[in-house]
Amino acid sequence: MQKGPIPLKIIKTQRILIRPVRSTDAPLMHDAMKASFNDLKEWMPWAQSLASLRDTEVYLLHGERIWSSPAHEGVEQPLQIMDPTNRNYIGATGIKPANLSIPSFEIGYWVNHQYAGQGLITEAMNVLTRYLFQVLKAKRVEINCEQDNVKSANVAQRLNYDLEGTLRNHRFDATGKKVTNSLIFSCVDITKLPPMPFHWE
């Protein structure tokens, strides 16, 4: 992979679009985090207290700078998952380069509570995985989640990612107080993914 900015404007299906973050997303994102706070707090270390609107703006401004810079290993390039009108906030994801020389990537996700249970995150991760393989020539995409986070693991399983193993005593839980295990899922062959038409710019 060429070591420059990741070339992505939008990934789109009939139900969703995925695009880089914008600072103007702050009100929508903040409202989604507020509505989903109890769900997020259980699994996300950054959601142990609700970020202010200003904190959200600062995060998004930093995300814009990341997208205008060359990709770096270990630095997530944040993405928004929106409805096709680009007005309703479905959730968030990101592309984290793990090894650019291979290249390999890690992806993660969270969903706005009001859009949970509709398969939208599974759909988003399907087409994001396809984008990484088809456009960025990935050889590996990984999903890493806490062992007890069944809903997150189910996304990887519905996409036919392979469970490579359980890393014991690998992470702290969201509170930072309890040591717990990680599940490592990977995709190295997108022919295993459920069919899903999409386009990207």
Residue 179: the pLDDT is: 97
pTM as predicted = 0.95
**pLDDT tens digits for range 48-97:** 999 999 999 999 999 999 999 999 999 999 999 999 999 999 999 999 99
To which CATH superfamily is domain 11-139 assigned? Answer: Gcn5-related N-acetyltransferase (GNAT) (3.40.630.30)
CA distances from 187 to 21, 60, 79, 164 (A): 25, 29, 20, 10
pLDDT at 3: 66
End-to-end CA distance of the chain: 18
Rounded CA-CA distance 65/23 in Å is 10
pLDDT reported for residue 135: 95
* Confidence bin at 5 (pLDDT 50/70/90): confident
pLDDT score for 1: 56
In angstroms, the Cα distances linking 40 to 2, 72, 93, 105 are 35, 27, 14, 23
Residue in the structure block whose two tokens are 């600062």? 58
